[in-house]
Amino acid sequence: MRVAGVVLVAWALTACTAPGPAPVSDRSARRTAVKTEAPRPATPQISPSTNGQHTVQRGDTLYAIAFANGLDHREIAIWNRLESADLILVGQVLRLTPPPGGVEIKPLDDEPAPNARPLAEPLVLQEPQAVLLPYSEANWAQVSNARPVTAVTPAAVKPAPVAATPPANAPAANVAFDSWLWPADGTLAGRFGAAGGKGIDIVGQRNAPVKAVAPGKVVYSGSGLRGYGRLLIVKHAGEYLSAYAHNETILVQEGETVTAGQRIALMGDSDADRVKLHFEIRRYGKPLDPLNYLPERS
């Protein structure tokens, strides 16, 4: 019996040391796949200048630089002798103030009224050197040294051409303010001028469509302006700019032409405390109250 017990124990030890892989539970099959979003390309931040200059960084545009500093992009181009608003180079230092003796561009409606000054000497009145005659065939012949004109029968008179009236649905040459559209649906939460606001805030749902208010061209798309998040700037006729800030996703690119009502972005909360669209209208770099240009909402 003792021998049989020893054999049994030896057989058990041999079975425990038999070669072969130990069973391992496949935990990787139970892992939940995590989808990561590709990092967005970084855009250099553009802050208002404190020394009257701006050093161009990669991704900057003249419109964005002007927008950040409340200037007209044409002024910056003239002050720096730029042939085109698109011809700026990385590392180039742009002046943001007029050079000595330079002429500043201002809208006509911002020019002050001229001041009238009295003349040093009284005005000398002179008699006219000609006599005003009433119109008649004889007087015409006299002043023109020609014979009187023969009367013309009405049948021989050709009607003057009349300018064709454009149809009611013809597109206007410039942006008509009453044809601008609201950029998004939502609740109006912030007004122009409130707490220094340069536009209005529309609170809505994440990924709600953001639309172009009028036809134009995208002149900036990026995250380079502090406090605006992912920003779009569209240039319209008449030197008007419309700006759309805090977007979740931008759907158009710089240089692209957009139509009124076209989806250009999705609403978000980039660089904001809540999901909203911050919308501005500017002309010659000057912020304007959008509610004076957008149609009334029912």
Q: What is the arithmetic mean of pLDDT over 16-42?
A: 46
Nearest to 276 by CA among 204, 182, 184: 204
pLDDT number for residue 101: 72
Q: Tell me how far apart the alpha carbons of residues 279 and 192 are, in angstroms, rounded to a whole number.
A: 10
**Average pLDDT of the residues of the chain:** 75
Residue with tokens 């590709």: 38
Does the pLDDT of residue 196 top 90, yes or no?
Answer: no
The CATH topology of domain 53-100 is: Membrane-bound Lytic Murein Transglycosylase D; Chain A (3.10.350)
With beta carbons less than 8 A apart as the criterion, state whether 206 and 238 touch.
no
Comparing 5-9, 161-165, 180-184, 192-196, the range with the smallest average pLDDT is: 161-165
Q: Confidence class of residue 85 from pLDDT cuts 50, 70 and 90? A: confident
pLDDT number for residue 45: 87
Q: What angle do CA 191, 197, 199 make, to 5 degrees?
A: 60
Cα 89 to Cα 54, 71, 86, 151, 211, distances in angstroms: 12, 19, 9, 72, 31
pLDDT digits (tens, 9 = 90+) for 261-289: 999 999 999 999 999 999 999 999 999 99
Q: Between residues 43 and 95, which one has the greater pLDDT?
A: 95
Q: Tell me how far apart the alpha carbons of residues 128 and 125 are, in angstroms, rounded to a whole number.
A: 9
Does the pLDDT of residue 59 top 90, yes or no?
Answer: no
Q: What is the arithmetic mean of pLDDT over 24-45?
A: 50
pLDDT number for residue 55: 94
Question: Residue 200 pairs with which residues in a beta bridge?
Answer: 279
pLDDT number for residue 139: 65
Taking the whole predicted model, whether its pTM rises above 0.85 is answered as no
The CATH number that domain 178-292 falls under is 2.70.70.10
pLDDT digits (tens, 9 = 90+) for 206-236: 999 999 999 999 999 999 999 999 999 999 9
Domain boundaries, the chain: 53-100, 178-292
pLDDT digits (tens, 9 = 90+) for 142-168: 655 544 444 444 444 444 343 333 333
CA dihedral 212, 218, 223, 224 (to 10 degrees): -130
Q: Between residues 15 and 109, which one has the greater pLDDT?
A: 109
pLDDT number for residue 170: 36
